[in-house]
Amino acid sequence: MPFLAPLLLFGAVFAAAPIIIHLLNRRQFKLVEWAPMEYLKLTLRTNRRRLQLEQWILLAIRTLLILILIFAVARPFLSGNTAAAWLSLGGRTSRVVLIDDSLSMGLLAGGESSFERSAEQAAALIESLGTQDNLTIATTSSIASPLSRDAALTQDEANDLANQVRQLEPVESANNWAATLAELADLLEGTANSSKEVRIFTDQRAAGWSADAAEQAAKLEAMGVKVVIVKVGQGSTGNASLTELAPTSGVALANTPIEFVASIDTDGDPQFKVDYATLSINGVESPIKLPEIAPGQRGVELRLSHTFEEPGQHTVELRLPDDALPGDNSRSMIINVAESVRVLLVDGEPGIAARDSEVFFLAQLLYSGSTPIKTTVLPDTEWFEKPSVGNYDLVVLANVERIPPRRAEQLKAMVEAGSGVIVFTGDQVDPTAYNNELYADGNGILPAKIELGESAEVEGLIIEQIDNSPMPVLQQLYLDKPGLLARTSPSKVARVILPDTDERNDTRVLARWNAQGQPPAAIEKRVGKGRVVLWTVTADRDWSDWPTEATYFIGVRELALSIAGVSDATGNLTAGQTLRQRVSSSNPPSRAEVVQPGQEQTDAAVIDRSVSNRPQIVYTDTHRAGLYTLSWDVPGRDELSEKRYALSPDTRESDLKQLSDEEITQMLPGVDLTLVDASDPGSAGAQREIWRTLAMLLLGFVVIESAFAAWVGREH
């Protein structure tokens, strides 16, 4: 029987006190001859045995009282369901065994991962429980679909379930403990027994815990749930995580070199066995020499390049050598290679002659260069008559008076899916309409509120030196030859009101005018997967002669290609995110299925028709990283439509900081919580502290001792 305070057991020596007192009291009497005693000897001989028995019983009770007191303060607990349940006086119990299977649980120590230790201990617990309790077994990634739900298992069923648990593997998604606790409360809501216990096997990583957990913990407290957290995690001896893999440009074109950048973080010394990573392009692997990586280094860049000869979907995967945490050593990506960049120029002031058009200079710069760009020019009135924005990688709004509400919604959806938008101001722009529909109190796609254009004394353009700017060439020109940009001096600019930077981190200024107060010239905002850039000058020469300068052609063209994105390139997600695929509302599919990474069998996906005009395919079992293939039927066609998704590990779990027992207790205020370490004896079993039971026994024996002592001390 293990104890939480075993040193206090030395107090058991005081149990000898009643015996010593008893022996001493036996010697404290005098023999007095008294004649009447002769007449009592016969009676005493008759009662002697009974009196001795009563004295020994009283002595045993007093000795046991001291032993129970010492045992209670030493806080014993029992492993093994039979004895523990019998002594707990709690009756039948509904138990939930929850195994943390997030990415960090794959951390290896001594050749065994934290998850393997959890699975083995959980399996041993399942085998030891017997049939008197109801059992729920689940993992944190699939808590809504437990392996067993409030079931009274036979021993054979328990053994089979334990074997299933031993076969489980960790996933590459991250935990959200607030959501997990909410699901736990739902699981326990309808359980058969009033006594409820949850045993959580976890590594206590800080990732995934938030203040919201306390609100959900209150539900467990209200239900009287006893929670036992078994810590199985260990500190990291060295781990490298691949935190990013992305193209440097938003558009990938066939027969054009595409550059990728990978980012590597290290926690300690990862101790790679080899110095090469593996790059896989459409399944064809090649070694990539790794740069020198120091322990504890962040943001180590690895730049790659590849040319795709054919348009369409292509897969890219980069894998680092294995280390202590292999789950975060790879990332996958879908590259949608196009034949050309699809650009729409919406002309707010067409003009009579082509040169008088608002988008004349924009069209010229897009036609130039070697990059294949398919440009469509539409007057704003004609564009508004169309039912949708259209299928474009980039939409440029040039001095367009206003944007109707429905078109504003379509633009936002397009940008969220990965496309880009550039907005040029002008005399025709209605600031109120733009602020209402496109800015929408900061919730729309416009980076800032627009005010009327006004005259300005400007002495050039200042390019901000910020990371990942969509205008790197202009950045370098500003450093090397600032005089070239000093010639950009508009006579009029639109004033803008930037959002509070403390509230929004998705907006930043790319360039400013060299004038009093340095008013913004170009502001960028990230919306979903896409980006929007607002210029506070016109696209033509109405407010500035900049369109006739070479820097205009270089900078605006570079910006356009940087933020343009193939709108159907929504196949790159993080493990745990839901797959969603829009389908035709007029001809929706009747079935859809998914093939998971490394699997051959298909799994059914849900066709969500809750919004009649926007049906979509939904698939949620995405906790493993790798390539997913979604296919669905199209009525009237023989072949299936198909799309691939690349899901990368959630590297929030690569942060291996552990919460202390005190921090965990603060996260779960009010909960009947016990924290044990997996290395403690019996931590895997159905442990129960029995000090409360011992306290009740102690109270009972005090009453018995008092009553029995009075009985023994009666006159005979």
Report the relative pairing of strands 688-689 and 341-347 from DSSP bridges.
Answer: unpaired
pLDDT of residue 40: 56
Q: 425: domain CATH number?
A: 3.40.50.880
Tokens of 233: 């995690």
pLDDT of residue 453: 78
Same domain, 118 and 183: yes
In a domain, 478, yes or no: no
Domain end marker among 529, 563, 597: 563
In a domain, 31, yes or no: yes
Fill in the amino acid letter for 147: L
Helix (H, G, I), strand (E, B) or coil at 710: helix
pLDDT in tens, 436-473: 999 999 999 999 999 887 888 888 999 999 988 899 89
Same domain, 550 and 614: no
Which parts of the chain register pLDDT below 50? Answer: 4, 80-91, 567-569, 681-686
DSSP conformation letters of 566-604: -TT---EEETTPPEEEE--SSS--S-EEEE-TT--S-EE
**Which helix (H) or strand (E) covers residue 385, if one does?**
helix 380-385
CB burial of residue 41 (10 Å; 0-12, 13-18, 19+): exposed
In a domain, 461, yes or no: no
Closest alpha carbon to 487 in 551, 539, 426: 551
- Contact between 162 and 148 under an 8 Å Cβ cutoff? The reply is no
Domain end marker among 504, 538, 563: 563
Same domain, 322 and 218: no
pLDDT in tens, 32-81: 555 555 555 555 555 666 666 767 777 777 777 777 777 666 656 555 44
Helix (H, G, I), strand (E, B) or coil at 472: helix
Q: Could you give the CA distance from residue 36 to residue 698 in angstroms, rounded to a whole number? A: 44
Q: 155: domain CATH number?
A: 3.40.50.410
Tokens of 449: 């509120």
Three-state helix/strand/coil letters over 328-364:
HCEEEEEEEEECCEEEEEEECCCCCCHHHCCCHHHHH
In a domain, 487, yes or no: no
Displacement of CA 416 from its chain's centroid (Å) = 21
The boundaries of the domain holding residue 57 are 6-76+694-712
Q: Could you give the CA distance from residue 362 to residue 12 in angstroms, rounded to a whole number? A: 92
pLDDT of residue 686: 45
- The residues pairing with 242 across neighbouring beta strands, listed in sequence order, are 264
Helix (H, G, I), strand (E, B) or coil at 88: helix
Q: What residue ranges in 14-165 does DSSP mark as E strands?
A: 77-78, 93-99, 108-109, 112-113, 134-139, 148-151
- The residues pairing with 229 across neighbouring beta strands, listed in sequence order, are 200, 675
In a domain, 376, yes or no: yes
**Which helix (H) or strand (E) covers residue 82, if one does?**
helix 81-88
How far are the Cα atoms of 408, 444, 463, 546 from residue 433, in angstroms, in the given order? 11, 12, 29, 27
In a domain, 462, yes or no: no
pLDDT of residue 696: 75
pLDDT of residue 22: 59
Same domain, 106 and 177: yes
Domain end marker among 507, 529, 563: 563
Q: Quote the radius of gyration of the chain (alpha carbons, Å).
A: 37
Q: Could you give the CA distance from residue 61 to residue 56 in angstroms, rounded to a whole number? A: 9
Same domain, 144 and 210: yes
- The residues pairing with 580 across neighbouring beta strands, listed in sequence order, are 618
Q: Could you give the CA distance from residue 356 to residue 439 in angstroms, rounded to a whole number? A: 29
In a domain, 598, yes or no: yes
Same domain, 88 and 22: no
Give the Cβ contact number of residue 346 at 10 Å: 26
Q: Could you give the CA distance from residue 154 to residue 169 in angstroms, rounded to a whole number? A: 25
Closest alpha carbon to 63 in 109, 116, 18: 18
- Contact between 673 and 227 under an 8 Å Cβ cutoff? The reply is yes
Same domain, 556 and 411: yes
CB burial of residue 448 (10 Å; 0-12, 13-18, 19+): buried
Same domain, 346 and 322: no
Same domain, 60 and 101: no
Same domain, 108 and 169: yes
- Contact between 77 and 682 under an 8 Å Cβ cutoff? The reply is yes
Same domain, 354 and 423: yes
Same domain, 68 and 85: no
Backbone angles phi, psi at 649, to 5 degrees: -60, 150
Q: Is the pTM of this model over 0.85?
A: no
Q: 596: domain CATH number?
A: 2.60.40.10
Helix (H, G, I), strand (E, B) or coil at 312: strand
For 216, what's the count of Cα atoms within 13 Å in the CB-facing half-sphere? Answer: 18
Count how many domains the chain has.
Answer: 5
In a domain, 698, yes or no: yes
Helix (H, G, I), strand (E, B) or coil at 217: helix
